[in-house]
Structure 1
């Protein structure tokens, strides 16, 4: 007859066997096997320790939320104290670990990633400042993170770039993104380069800007082609990469369809029940001049490079969504969620009427 202690031991073994399966085991090069345990969800233990540089940005907050919801311990490097406060309740007690860092401080970077088995680099800038130029963040900063991750023996590095990254682009933003990819590959050959398209979501600078400042999106007569993608789809794709031991190469994550800015402006107008903007289409030279003047405030309204990007079509490349196990959703299925707040009280509950779809 089994003793009470043996009965409890058998019960624990049975429970553990019932909660674990082969897919719960991940073996990373040079590291011990990672075994997840516990019931699925917020209070589980995924076994992973992850560092997310750029966690306080638009995409970063959704990635941290998805990782923490799986029971992953997430290191969240921050520059300003108040920028990371909303990340703390995303994980269970002790699972969200905040650490101060600076992109130029190698010791701080090493301290942030030395315990991690996967590092995400989401750091980027939409405009330049006197302290940080595009090259400081997209090139030197990305290379520094990749180099230190390689020196620390981190098995996985996921570097987020942009769909339109190209060394021959007329946009300085896109050129530095492409140069940063090359530097990352040189420093960390097994890195995964992720190229998402223009992302939209609750705090985006895409749909919200179209609703607030449509004049800047009428540039190029609304003919610029964009492949918008939901930020939640990109965050889920990045989360799924965590379970893959190795995935070197480049992954493109464009939206499911190519749309013109004219169609998107019509969609925003139909959802907000505001008449289309009657402002004239600004010539490119005048728009660039106004953008230079807009650099005077501490928070620039628009940069000259953003104006340049309004004239660049998204590249026509196939998406690699199947490789990351995600099916991207159409923008029409989510836009009302983010644009309803721009309606007046009179039209707040009216149904939306979409314009005819563009190809």
Structure 2
């Protein structure tokens, strides 16, 4: 029979064994802050890595997956938010006390300082896909990025990770890509040991790639659909960013393109094969017509397409080698996941039919071969 006294002895014994199981490798002294980081517990949601991460831009597409990965590993995550409703889905991603919500504004230095002053690593995912009356590309991609990096350096944060874009270039005709490149330079000046990450076009459940092609095919009918894309899975990018916590500081630029190159025409084939909807009969728009329509749509509260996005439809993704090995990630091919994100676009009678999609081994052949996904 187990008495209350014996139960207390068992509890004391378990606490003693857990404490004695800790070793010197559980103690990490972080960089400039010299703050001790103590990890304990088995890996997983209820573990404690001892690390604190701030994810600016956490309410966006990539941000929610990064927060989920970090919290699942036992990292405490600071979640800066602007809108109360935009961060509610992040709270259940971690155990009690692991997700810390903090209101912030990009133009408020004190709020930015408060969000990062306890952090061991800071991720900047803040971006602007189109300009608004409140924020321009320059405000967000350059000035805002430099401010966050500068305040992180001031607070002696050990690690800073800035997410840019695969096509970032100071000479790009796209203002978005040009300001992304300027933002990288500004971040490097403010935080010399920063890690710059350049992912390609990202696809997933809330993406602006596969869903956009399925919903608004006419907005992709430019450049004769010959623009080349290198799409990458959001889970691969999020895992790569998470792995940076456990590696020595990488003061370099990491390019993360997808493992395959598609033309937009081939992306149309893939989307059509999975959704089983008729091919779009929208004509290919000349560039000046597309820009004119895009400027007109700017007067709408939620523009479907901006003039700068039209410009990007004519720019091929950079033909560079990926740095996935540095992050310990092997990127997946898009065919393995696209059906999960596009099946909801099918008609009811086609919902459970296996899709016939283009064979990835014959992507460059004029006579495309197809296979049935099981």
CA offsets 1:35-92 (integer angstroms, 9 cap, x no match)? 3111221111010011000000000000000101111111100011100010011111
CA distance in 2, matches of 1:74, 1:273: 41
Aligned to 1:35: 38
Match of 2:290 in 1: 287
Give distance in 2, aligned partners of 1:67 and 1:52: 10
> Is the counterpart of residue 300 in structure 1 residue 303 in structure 2?
yes
Query: Partners of 1:27 and 1:257 in 2: how far apart?
Result: 40
> Post-superposition shift, 1:14?
4.3
With over 3 angstroms needed to count, the CA separation of the structure-2 counterparts of 1:255 and 1:26, relative to structure 1, is: farther
Deviation, 1:275, is: 1.3
- Corresponding position of 1:99: 102
Structure 2 match to 1:340? 343
- How far the C-alpha of 1:215 sits from its partner, in A, is 1.3
What is the distance in 1 between the residues matched to 2:356 and 2:36? 52
Say which SS state the counterpart of residue 129 (structure 1) adopts.
coil
Which of 172, 190, 194 in structure 2 is aligned with 1:191?
A: 194
* Counterpart residue number, 2:143: 140
Match of 2:247 in 1: 244
Partners of 1:286 and 1:42 in 2: CA distance: 51
Aligned length: 355
2:191 maps to 1:174: no
Gaps of 5+ in 2: 1-5, 365-374
Query: Greater CA deviation, 342-351 or 91-100?
Result: 91-100
Query: What are the residue-to-residue correspondences of 1:197-236 with 2, within 5 Å?
Result: 197-236=200-239
Matched residue, 2:273 = 270
Tell me the equivalent position of 1:126. Answer: 129
Partner in structure 2 of residue 78 of structure 1: 81
**Structure 1 pair 39–329 and aligned structure 2 pair: CA distance change class (3 A):** same
SS at match of 2:168: coil
User: C-alpha distance in 2, partners of 1:236/1:25?
Assistant: 24
Q: Secondary structure at the match of 2:74?
A: coil
Q: Distance in 1 between matches of 2:24 and 2:227?
A: 48
Who is 1:321 aligned against?
324
CA distance in 2, matches of 1:270, 1:310: 22
Select which of 36, 50, 58 maps to 1:47: 50
* Equivalent residue for 1:62, pick from 62, 65, 75: 65
CA RMSD of aligned residues (A): 1.7
Equivalent-residue separation in structure 2 for 1:21 and 1:223 (angstroms): 56
Whether contact under 8 Å (1:215, 1:277) holds in the other structure is yes
Aligned to 2:162: 159
Q: CA deviation at 1:32?
A: 2.5
Distance in 2, matches of 1:76 and 1:184, equals 21
Equivalent-residue separation in structure 1 for 2:170 and 2:272 (angstroms) = 36
Tell me the TM-score normalized by structure 2. 0.91
Q: Helix, strand or coil: the match of 2:146?
A: helix
| Structure 1, unpaired ranges of 5+ | none
| Structure-2 change in CA distance of 1:25 and 1:220 (3 Å) | farther
What is the rounded CA distance, in whole Å, between the counterparts of 2:24 and 2:266 in structure 1? 47
1:11 Cα shift?
5.3
Q: Tell me by how many angstroms 1:239 deviates.
A: 0.3
Report the Cα offset of residue 355 of structure 1: 2.2
Assess if the C-alpha contact under 8 Å between 1:19 and 1:39 holds in 2: no
